[in-house]
Amino acid sequence: MLKVFNCDLHIHTCLSPCAELDMHPQALVQKALNKKLDMIAISDHNASDNVPYVMAAAGKNIQVIPAMEITTSEEVHLLALFESLSDLLKLQTVIDQHLFGENDENRFGVQAIVNELGEVEGLNNQLLIGATDLSIDSIIDTIHQLKGLAIPAHIDRESFSVLSQLGFIDDHSRFDALEISKLTGLEQGRIQYHNLSRYPFLTSSDAHFIKDIGTSTTKIIMEEPTFAELKMALSKQNGRQILE
């Protein structure tokens, strides 16, 4: 039976240098449950170390989609969502080969790897806030080869969005959906970007702080909150769809 599920598909953890340290897996999952979210995607900047710990903290209480927010060579933020952790880790291997520099904690913040019990496992010393040297087209190719979804983040923002960096999205772009930030919202997004009507729109919290989790969500009609069902909803298959 089809139901409406409440989804926040862009959440950071304390691994992202711009996120607060309180965004550790255990606290993050508890806040998501308090906000009555059915499905979340963990999408740290250019990294995936905390995803398995969020999945462990969630157990069967909430569906966690393995994800990443990649910075392309054009400085576009691109969300990559996957069905399995193993697919995400394959992408991570590619990203690690094309991301350079070392984090400066004093300038950018601590990049903490924290397990499901709230214990610090270590630090990621890569410059996660930086850009890879991979073009947006090459990253989309890799995501799709791994059967993932490629979604440009916060297209309405004046920085790090596909529109701010490239200036356009044409009908030949191979995006699976477009994310509208909570500052604009889906309704206004459809008005503002009426020329992009062929794409499904999502909105998410892009939470870097505990208080922001679930502040902007997408309602999705699915049979269950899974990656496979999400993929069908984006294609409007068998009654699955995004509610706008």
Q: Using CA atoms, how far apart are residues 75 and 15, in angstroms rounded to an integer? A: 20
**CA 213 from chain center: how many Å?**
13
pLDDT of residue 202: 98
Domain ranges (residues) in the chain: 3-243
pLDDT of residue 170: 82
pLDDT of residue 131: 98
State pLDDT tens for residues 134-170.
999 999 999 999 999 999 999 999 999 999 999 999 8
* pLDDT of 172 over the 90 cut: no
CATH architecture label of 3-243 = Alpha-Beta Barrel (3.20)
Q: Indicate the residue type of 110.
A: V
**Could you identify the residue written with the tokens 């740290």?**
44
pLDDT of residue 234: 98
* pLDDT of 15 over the 90 cut: yes
What's the rounded mean pLDDT across residues 223-235? 98
Lookup: tokens for 7: 């989804």
pLDDT of residue 84: 98
pLDDT of residue 9: 98
Q: 194: pLDDT confidence band, cut at 50, 70 and 90? A: very high
Q: 225: pLDDT confidence band, cut at 50, 70 and 90? A: very high
State pLDDT tens for residues 95-106.
999 999 999 999
State pLDDT tens for residues 61-115.
999 999 999 999 999 999 999 999 999 999 999 999 999 999 999 999 999 999 9
